[in-house]
Structure 1
Amino acid sequence: MITESVVHSTITIERTYPAAPERVFAAWADPRQKRRWFAEGEGWSVLQFDLDFREGGRELARFRDDKNGAEIRNDGHYEDIVPGRRIVVAYTMSVGDRRISASLATVELRPQGDGTRLVFTEQGAFFDGADGPRMREQGWRELLGRLADQLQAAR
């Protein structure tokens, strides 16, 4: 039985990358780069990844969990973009036909020495006991780690 409920939470994660803000920004803006660190990964099959990176543009990512076959969908809309400095995206996440969350995510890129201080903030509404703030934070920490690996490989 699913209990109808909403849990609201704000997640903030900070990371420092040894790359200029413009290089980190490009890893979010370029469809090939973002697909590598955001969509591809062991245990997941990418069913669709479309990125129209501009204010008013959309992002759609559909994955299948290779273990249990569940389809997961991220559907985003870019609200604000300041090249090399800020990205704001509103997105929903669904598992199968069930919407599990709606969020507003902000990526801030701040120069720090020769690198970049990234501040990721997600304000989310998590529905009916699915997913949840702890799991979402863990997922974003893993993704931002994959971004670090990609930036390191490109050096």
Structure 2
Amino acid sequence: MAACALDAAPIERIGEVIALLIRNRPMGDPAVVHDTFVLERDYPVSPERVFAAFANPEAKRAWFAEGHNHDLERFEMDFQVGGVEISRYRVRPSGRFAGVVLSSDGTYLDIQPGRRIVIASILAMAGVRLSASLVTLSFAPTTEGTRLTCTHQGAFFENADGPERRKTGWRRLLHQLAEALDR
């Protein structure tokens, strides 16, 4: 059996090897996959409080950027129209892509306090762009609190995680938001 590049790589270089494999992987169908999904979630708190969980850098970092499967290396957020949100994560040794850096670079396109946030972003793994997204978050008052509507419009490139995994990720994030709002 032929040796794989991963077999000969020291553990501290696994991330570099995975990045090399991703970059040199056959492209297959170069078509971009477009997808839109909408998630709604109700929270028993005011729209202002839910909005603040997205607007406050410390609050958002805690529920959105921190995680069990990665180490957060960088999180910057300039919450204003034209401002940026930058995240850098390194997958932990127990993860599928141990040592690999994931990056998300976004720009806030529209902010209506207490009502709406629109952000465009690029997701990359090991320096390889995986997708471009436009996410619209709408906050509407209900009799019990707030209905958050998340509309995700994505273009998924070669080697991307795909629409279903992204939808699962956003469901997880909205659950983490619920936990943060309960504290």
Give the one of 59, 77, 81 matched to 1:55. Answer: 81
Q: Using CA pairs under 8 Å that are at least 6 residues apart, name the structure with larger relative contact order, 1 or 2.
A: 1
Give the one of 61, 68, 72 matched to 1:42. Answer: 68
Q: Quote the offset at 1:11 in angstroms.
A: 1.3
Greater percentage in helix: 2
Identity of aligned residues (%): 49
User: Once structures 1 and 2 are overlaid, which stretch shifts more, 11-20 or 63-72?
Assistant: 63-72
Which residue of structure 2 lines up, in the alignment, with residue 15 of structure 1? 41
CA RMSD, aligned part only?
0.8
Q: Quote the offset at 1:129 in angstroms.
A: 3.8
User: Once structures 1 and 2 are overlaid, which stretch shifts more, 13-22 or 65-74?
Assistant: 65-74
Which residue of structure 1 lines up, in the alignment, with residue 15 of structure 2? none
Which residue of structure 2 lines up, in the alignment, with residue 91 of structure 1? 121
User: Once structures 1 and 2 are overlaid, which stretch shifts more, 100-109 or 128-137?
Assistant: 128-137
Distance in 2 between residues matched to 1:60 and 1:51, nearest whole Å: 6
- Work out the number of aligned pairs and report it: 153
In 2, are the aligned partners of 1:5 and 1:129 still within 8 Å (CA)?
Answer: no
Alignment of 1:102-113 (within 5 A): 102-113=132-143
Instruction: Choose 1 or 2 for highest CA Rg.
Output: 2
Q: Quote the offset at 1:5 in angstroms.
A: 2.3
Does residue 143 of structure 1 match 2:173? yes
| TM-score after normalising by structure 2 | 0.82
| TM-score after normalising by structure 1 | 0.96
